[in-house]
């Protein structure tokens, strides 16, 4: 919904929901049955599937008249405050989301700590770089709303297998940078090159960080299988 927000009517949203839920269930069944994806890794499936399904719907519904930015899409001070309040709640409770399907106590705590480390790194990153890339040297609340949570998305798939805090911090820093650069460069590029209007930036908040998390998990598991140690 975030990818097509402001560009669709209620009937289109209802149809999109029916198609998306049906496609998601079928895709999830395929991944768990044939590729043997475990439940914890399937958390990233929510982010990645939802993001790219929304982007494809945005592409399919593109019309030349939608290229011009709508007045309601601009940010305001009042809405920015409410959005920041929601971001804070998501930031606080994201570790419970990443660890809810984990049964082992040690693995669950590892996922909680790794998620907090990654979220903290992405938050610090966005506050620092938001000032650096701003012409007036001010913080951009749009960047902060998005990049603050990108660390939690990126660390989700690998949260249970991360052996050291510095790895979670690096993941958060990388996800924060990806989100900032995506908001700055990727969003207008998608609209110009592919006619994809991403209203809420789901591509660089959920899509790319979700894929990054899966790749990191693969690297860590390959390193573990090869008897390599990741030192603190």
Structural domain including 160 reads 75-230
> What is the full per-residue pLDDT of the chain (232 aa) written as tens digits?
888 888 888 898 999 999 999 999 898 888 888 877 776 666 677 888 999 999 999 898 887 665 555 555 566 666 767 788 888 888 899 998 888 888 888 888 999 999 999 999 999 998 888 778 777 777 778 888 888 889 999 998 888 888 889 999 999 999 999 988 888 788 888 888 888 888 888 999 999 998 998 899 888 888 887 765 544 4
118 occurs within a structural domain: yes
Task: Provide DSSP, 64-129.
Answer: GGGSSPPGGGS--HHHHHHHHHHHHHHHHHHHHHHHTT--SHHHHHHHHHHHHHHHHHHHHHHHHH
What is the number of structural domains in the chain?
Answer: 1
The CA-based angle 169-171-176, given to 5 degrees, is 95
The answer to whether residues 180 and 131 touch, using CB atoms and an 8 Å cutoff, is: no
pLDDT score, position 147: 85
pTM: 0.84
Between CA 168 and CA 111 the distance in angstroms is 10
CA 187 to chain centroid:
14
The answer to whether residues 230 and 216 touch, using CB atoms and an 8 Å cutoff, is: no
The answer to whether residues 171 and 212 touch, using CB atoms and an 8 Å cutoff, is: yes
213 occurs within a structural domain: yes
Residue 190 belongs to domain with CATH number: 1.10.3430.10
The answer to whether residues 190 and 201 touch, using CB atoms and an 8 Å cutoff, is: no
41 occurs within a structural domain: no
88 occurs within a structural domain: yes
Longest distance between any two alpha carbons in the chain, whole Å: 57
- The angle, 0 to 180 degrees and rounded to 10, between the axes of the packed helices 105-132 and 165-181 is 40
Inter-CA distances, 92 with 1, 80, 232, Å: 23, 18, 26
177 occurs within a structural domain: yes
* DSSP collapsed to 3 states, 142-190: HHHHHHHHHHHHHHCCCCCCCCCHHHHHHHHHHHHHHHHHHHHHHHHHH
- Enter the tokens of residue 228: 């390599």
225 occurs within a structural domain: yes
148 occurs within a structural domain: yes
């Amino acid at each position: 919904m975030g990818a097509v927000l402001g560009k669709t009517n209620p009937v289109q949203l209802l149809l999109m929901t029916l198609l998306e839920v049906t496609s998601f269930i079928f895709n999830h069944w395929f991944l768990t049955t044939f590729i043997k994806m475990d439940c914890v890794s399937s958390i990233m499936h929510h982010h990645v599937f939802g993001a790219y399904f929304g982007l494809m719907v945005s592409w399919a519904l593109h019309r030349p008249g939608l290229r011009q930015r709508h007045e309601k899409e601009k940010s305001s001070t009042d809405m920015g405050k409410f959005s920041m309040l929601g971001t804070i709640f998501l930031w606080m409770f994201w570790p419970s989301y990443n660890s809810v399907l984990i049964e082992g106590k040690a693995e669950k705590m590892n996922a909680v700590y790794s998620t907090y480390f990654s979220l903290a790194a992405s938050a610090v990153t966005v506050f620092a770089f938001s000032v650096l890339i701003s012409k007036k040297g001010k913080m951009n609340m749009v960047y902060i709303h998005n990049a603050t949570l990108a660390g939690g998305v990126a660390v989700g798939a690998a949260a249970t297998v991360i052996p050291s805090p510095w790895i979670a911090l690096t993941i958060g820093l990388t996800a924060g940078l990806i989100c900032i650069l995506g908001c700055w460069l990727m969003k207008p590029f998608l609209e110009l090159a592919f006619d994809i209007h991403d209203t809420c930036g789901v591509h660089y908040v959920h899509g790319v960080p979700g894929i990054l998390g899966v790749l990191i998990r693969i690297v860590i598991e390959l390193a573990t299988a090869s008897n390599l140690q990741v030192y603190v």
